[in-house]
Amino acid sequence: MNYAIYGMAILALTYIIVRPFLRRRKDPLDKPFNLSLAQQRHVERQMNSALVELAEMARQITGQLDTRAARLSALMDDADRKIDELKQLSQQVITPANNSPATQTKPESPPPPPEPEDSRHREVYDLADQGLAPPEIAAKLGRPRGEIELILALRRRH
């Protein structure tokens, strides 16, 4: 009876010691590849096509970023021009021919001609006038949310 218990203990101890070695997964890179020349060329073609796709995606993303940067630059230039116009108008109001505050009056000038609205922004304005929020407009038009928010922020108030 003691031999049976000793035998079971030895088996259990052996199982506990050997178990981690049995579960260890072998690294597939440890053994050399046995690929035929055709298989190697096929893998090479797949890798080359993947690299071409990545390069094309990088070009597209770069183009999109350049377009957005150009749009943003144009909007900033437009904003700078308008700021300069406002500064000039405020200087004209502050410094009339007679500098006394009692005689300062606003010069009568015709209102500036309305600027033509950008047709790309018209649909954004229409949806905003219908009460849609910028995220809803962006989703509906398939355009970035930030672009919609910028268009609405730069919209002239009438």
157 or 48, which is more confident = 48
* 68 phi, psi to nearest 5 deg: -65, -35
Decide if 101 contacts 84 (C-beta within 8 A).
Answer: no
For the record, the structure tokens of 138 come out as: 């962006």
102 or 140, which is more confident = 140
Decide if 108 contacts 93 (C-beta within 8 A).
Answer: no
* Predicted model pTM: 0.36
Q: What pLDDT was estimated at residue 158?
A: 43
What ranges do the domains of the chain cover? 35-96, 117-158
Weakest-pLDDT range from 4-18, 43-57, 98-112, 114-128:
98-112
